């Protein structure tokens, strides 16, 4: 990665300022041009360094629902099931884990009842059960990955 890519990734992990032109504000902060910021983000996305860039909304605070889900997927089916699960708009943060339940993801839906219907649809699509693990208590952890 270039020095600009590294500094930008590190900066963007802390969020964008809530101003009319957030990329211009970040550009001023980093002593770069707004166009450099935009071009760099586009390049990181096209190169696959970033897989997603956009706002993170708290579905629960907006009247929706969130849950953590897990699946037990045989290795031979893992890639196929990953694609199937990821095809659902409600799925975020799908990760492989070194555990008997080896696929973990977050569901974010517009309503609480949509959690159950989405889980059912994923099970119908994949042929594998989904284990729903709704949160009992929320903790906010600032997690950043310096590059």
Any idea where the domains of the chain sit in the sequence? 3-46, 59-133
Q: What is the pLDDT along the chain (147 residues), one digit of tens a residue?
A: 999 999 999 999 999 999 999 999 999 999 999 999 999 999 999 999 998 888 877 777 778 899 999 999 999 999 999 999 999 999 988 999 999 999 999 999 999 899 999 999 999 999 999 999 998 887 777 778 889
Alpha-carbon distance of 112 to 63, in angstroms, equals: 8
**Second-level CATH architecture of 59-133:** 2-Layer Sandwich (3.30)
Contact 75, 69 (CB under 8 A): no
Query: Is this prediction's pTM over 0.75?
Result: no
Residue with tokens 């952890």: 141
Q: Is 107 helix (H, G, I), strand (E, B) or coil?
A: strand
Query: Residue 56: CB partners within 8 Å, gap ≥ 6?
Result: none
């Amino acid at each position: 990665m270039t020095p600009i890519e590294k500094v930008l990734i590190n900066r963007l992990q802390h969020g964008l300022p809530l101003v009319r032109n957030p990329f211009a504000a970040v550009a001023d902060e980093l002593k770069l041009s707004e166009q450099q910021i935009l071009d760099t983000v586009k390049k990181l996305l096209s190169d696959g360094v970033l897989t997603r860039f956009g706002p993170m909304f708290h579905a629960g605070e907006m009247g929706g629902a969130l849950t953590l889900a897990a699946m037990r997927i045989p290795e031979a089916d893992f890639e196929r099931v990953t694609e199937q699960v990821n095809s659902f708009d409600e799925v975020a943060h799908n990760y492989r884990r070194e555990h008997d339940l080896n696929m973990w993801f977050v569901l974010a839906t517009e309503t609480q009842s949509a959690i159950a219907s989405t889980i059912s649809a994923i099970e119908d699509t994949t042929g594998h059960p989904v284990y729903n693990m709704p949160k009992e208590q929320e903790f906010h952890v600032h997690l950043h990955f310096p590059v």
